[in-house]
Amino acid sequence: MHIHSMAASHAAGKGSEPDSVFAVVSRVREAKKQPDADKVVDGSIGAIHDEEGNFSILPIVNELYRQMTPDELMNYATITGSPEFLQAAIDYTFQGFQPEGTIARAVGTPGGTGAIRSMIYNYLNNGETVLIPDWYWAPYKTIAQENQRVAETYTMFDENLKFSTEDLKAKTNALLKKQDNLLVIFNTPGHNPTGYSLTLDDWADLIPFFKACALDTQKHIVIGLDMAYVDYCGDPKEARRFLGMFKDLPENLFVAIAFSMSKSFLVYGMRSGALIGFSTSQDIMNDFTNIHSFSGRGTWSNGSRGAQQLLAKITGDAALTARADKERQELGQLVIDRATIFVKEAAEAGLRILPYFGGFFITIPAKDPKSLAAKLEAEKVFLVPMSKGIRLAVCAVPKSKMPGLAGRIKKAMEA
Ligand SMILES: Cc1ncc(COP(=O)(O)O)c(C=O)c1O
């Protein structure tokens, strides 16, 4: 008998489907080696590229990294993360909008991904379900599966492509009949893949709803906020305003924020972020630090010391902060300019897109996303097919390649 796998039963078959984004990325790489490489439109990867198509950085970040001592850069970070880093992550995340009277704590993680993992693992029991929207960042499902949990989706937009909380509330109520722990993850503002940001009105509707869910004190309600794109949604302070609305929460309603340095400091590969929580209860916050530090120790050990030092240095110095903000703002404007061209032309061409408020991506709903993406690839336009649409990484496509793109997609759709 030929054995195909040595995996335990829970691991059988996992990973056999290639990651949808990285599969496109590798085809782009090939296309860029061909003689007509200048015709390639690379809307696949979620990293900012400049107008010449080169990988973008914040120059101040590059400068500071190169000035670091070997110890600062390469020694171990502590399991939880250095105190300066943790405070910096908290300050950077709230920027004045920490709800009154709450105690905030942070635990360092390898990127926002690590923070999401820590949420999904620690706020649910084995086999339980995390609620996410039907347009979602694929790793949520991967992380749930990897940790023997399940991701269930709710319908995010109504038939007019308007954000709707109807199915979210129905699925929440149904889940609460089955499990005492509820975890709902919101990727906002600048949702991947659509670019939608929950508005203050959306939160004014949802926060009382979750408070009502928490009236049953048997239930542990956790709202997970994945804020990876918060700095690319217009005024970064305004984009954080909604955080201040989480006040007067009952003890059994908790908010956990995934903070990521990947997009805010363009250090994707440095793998740095934090899980941040806040509560009026000292006990809950002590427990928060304990459980997530333990999880870190048992999963990845600690975060990246160099990246942690970098954040502490920047946020601890007004001049460095101002420089980083300015450099980030310039790149953010580039992304907005590109998106503005696409959104305008989509309206003119009659191409339906999901509501874009900010962030790195725009999504075009499609009946047959795979065949649409294949048709576009034949024209050297590389977008990522998802289950119900195709995703355009506006962060990566130069302005010069934007005009006409919406029309080409519309044409390919009709062909
Ligand atoms: C929606 C979303 N959440 C979280 C992340 C986390 O990224 P990282 O682990 O690099 O911080 C990403 C990165 O692509 C993302 O798109």
- Using one digit for the tens of pLDDT, what is the confidence trace for 50-107? 999 999 999 999 999 999 999 999 999 999 999 999 999 999 999 999 999 999 999 9
Q: What percent of the chain has pLDDT over 70?
A: 100
CA distances from 245 to 98, 119, 281 (A): 9, 21, 18
**All residues at 6 or more sequence positions from 207 whose CB lies less than 8 Å from its CB, including other chains:** 245, 246
Q: How far is CA 273 from the centre of its chain?
A: 12
Q: Which residue spans of the chain are classified as CATH 3.90.1150.10?
A: 18-58+321-414
The per-residue pLDDT for range 358-368, each reduced to its tens digit, is: 999 999 999 99
Average pLDDT, integer, range 160-178: 98
Do the Cβ atoms of 202 and 163 come closer than 8 Å?
Answer: yes
What integer pLDDT is reported at residue 23 of this predicted model? Answer: 87
Supply the DSSP string of 111-166, one letter for each residue. Answer: HHHHHHHHHHHHSS-TT-EEEEESS--THHHHHHHHTT-EEEEE--B-TTS-B--H
C-alpha–C-alpha distance, residues 184 and 153, integer Å: 10
Q: Which atom of ligand 1 is nearest to the CA of 187?
A: 1
Sign of the C-alpha dihedral, residues 19, 25, 27, 30?
negative
Supply the DSSP string of 26-70, one letter for each residue. Answer: HHHHHHTTSTTGGG-EE---SS-B-TTSPBP--HHHHHHHHH--H
C-alpha–C-alpha distance, residues 317 and 308, integer Å: 15
Average pLDDT, integer, range 129-142: 97
State yes or no: pLDDT of 1 exceeds 80. Answer: no
C-alpha of residue 112 to centroid of ligand 1, in Å: 5
Reduce the DSSP state of residue 272 to 3 states and report it: coil
For the Cβ of 112 lying below 6 angstroms from any atom of ligand 1, the answer is yes
For the Cβ of 249 lying below 6 angstroms from any atom of ligand 1, the answer is no
From 19, 21, 116, 137, mutation site for ligand 1 pocket: most ligand atoms within 8 A of C-beta? 137
Q: Six-digit token pair at 102?
A: 């709450």
For the Cβ of 111 lying below 6 angstroms from any atom of ligand 1, the answer is yes
For the Cβ of 47 lying below 6 angstroms from any atom of ligand 1, the answer is no
Q: Six-digit token pair at 312?
A: 């502490």
Which DSSP letter does residue 190 get? Answer: S
Reduce the DSSP state of residue 252 to 3 states and report it: coil
Using 50, 70 and 90 to split pLDDT, how confident is the model at 415?
Answer: confident
Q: How far is CA 144 from the centre of its chain?
A: 15
Fold topology of 18-58+321-414: Aspartate Aminotransferase, domain 1 (3.90.1150)
Q: What is the pTM of this model?
A: 0.97
From 113, 186, 272, 386, mutation site for ligand 1 pocket: most ligand atoms within 8 A of C-beta? 113
Q: How far is CA 277 from the centre of its chain?
A: 17
Give me the residue label for tokens 């959104």. Answer: 343
Give me the residue label for tokens 């209860």. Answer: 281
For the Cβ of 137 lying below 6 angstroms from any atom of ligand 1, the answer is yes
For the Cβ of 273 lying below 6 angstroms from any atom of ligand 1, the answer is yes
Using 50, 70 and 90 to split pLDDT, how confident is the model at 18?
Answer: confident
What integer pLDDT is reported at residue 3 of this predicted model? Answer: 87
The per-residue pLDDT for range 171-217, each reduced to its tens digit, is: 999 999 999 999 999 999 999 999 999 999 999 999 999 999 999 99
The per-residue pLDDT for range 242-300, each reduced to its tens digit, is: 999 999 999 999 999 999 999 999 999 999 999 999 999 999 999 999 999 999 999 99
Q: Which residue spans of the chain are classified as CATH 3.40.640.10?
A: 78-316
C-alpha triplet 351, 357, 22: angle, nearest 5°: 75
Do the Cβ atoms of 281 and 102 come closer than 8 Å?
Answer: no
Q: Which residues face 157 on adjacent strands?
A: 163
Class of domain 78-316: alpha beta
Which stretch of 7-16, 87-96, 321-330, 347-356 has the lowest confidence by average pLDDT? 7-16
